[in-house]
Amino acid sequence: MVSGRKQHRWLVQAQLDYLLGANAFNMSYVTHFGTYAVRNLHHLYRIGTGVSLPGFLVGGPNIKAQANVAPKNMGMQSYVDDEKSYAVNEFAIDYNAALIGLLAVHSSYFD
């Protein structure tokens, strides 16, 4: 348990809910997970083959919109599901590691 306190359980669930669709777009930021999930991952394999692999967590909203594809300075709405937008639609090992950690904590609270 996080700090051994059960009162933090809601926070773990809220973070997972956000990543999986309780957000401004009602979209799961994990590829192939949920009814409305990221489809256009910025990943060379996906771009080159057209094959999208499941289970990748993308960066999500980014107000800086470095690729000049996603809307800029729109807070949680600074996102677009576009393979050209590396700033919001690229996966990274650290994003996915954090997701695995969150799922582990969630499991310890709810199992």
Residue with tokens 């639609």: 89
Is position 83 annotated as part of the catalytic site?
no
- Element spanning 89, H or E: helix 86-89
Is position 90 annotated as part of the catalytic site?
yes
Beta bridge partners of 57: 30
> Of these residues, 17, 81, 94, 111, which one is catalytic?
81
The C-alpha atoms of residue 111 and residue 107 are separated, in whole angstroms, by 5
> Of these residues, 82, 83, 90, 94, which one is catalytic?
90
Question: Which residues belong to the active site?
Answer: 81, 90
